[in-house]
Amino acid sequence: MKKIFILTALIESVTGLILLISPSFLTFVLLGSSPDSNAGLLLGRIAGTALLSLGIACWLARKDEKSEAVKGIAAALLLYNIVVAALLTYAGLSSGQSKLSLWLVVVVHLFLAIWLIKIFMDGNHAIKEQV
């Protein structure tokens, strides 16, 4: 789990910092538009803070693969990756202007979700073998 936590920490921390600094930039890169109001910019910065927090949690959890708290972080990360991939896929399909950057982000989140599913499946096999 160490490798996926390190990769996630890097990706989400950088993304979070970009959203904190300039939510309009990242929204434009992914969706081809930008938040039109102060409320949209505020929500973008709040999302940036959440992603930065996720990155920090993953970075700190990278050395501890056995605790229940780390399993909880991994489960939350799995949910996050599945939902983000679904939401961005919907955005890409429903808008007439899908960008390559959007689809690359969808692929990254799907890859991370599949990797986490494999980790959970391998963990369940290890538990069954011990019984």
Distance, in Å, from the CA atom of 79 to the CA atom of 116, rounded to the nearest integer, reads 10
- pLDDT tens sequence across 51-77: 999 999 999 999 987 889 999 999 999
pTM of the model: 0.85
Q: Which amino acid is residue 9, in one-letter code?
A: A
Q: Coil, helix or strand for 17?
A: helix
Q: Which amino acid is residue 15, in one-letter code?
A: T
Sign of CA dihedral 80, 83, 12, 107: positive
CB contact set of 130 (below 8 Å; sequence gap of 6+): none
- pLDDT tens sequence across 3-55: 999 999 999 999 999 999 999 999 888 888 888 888 989 999 999 999 999 99
Q: Where are the domains of the chain?
A: 2-130
Show the tokens assigned to 104: 């690359």
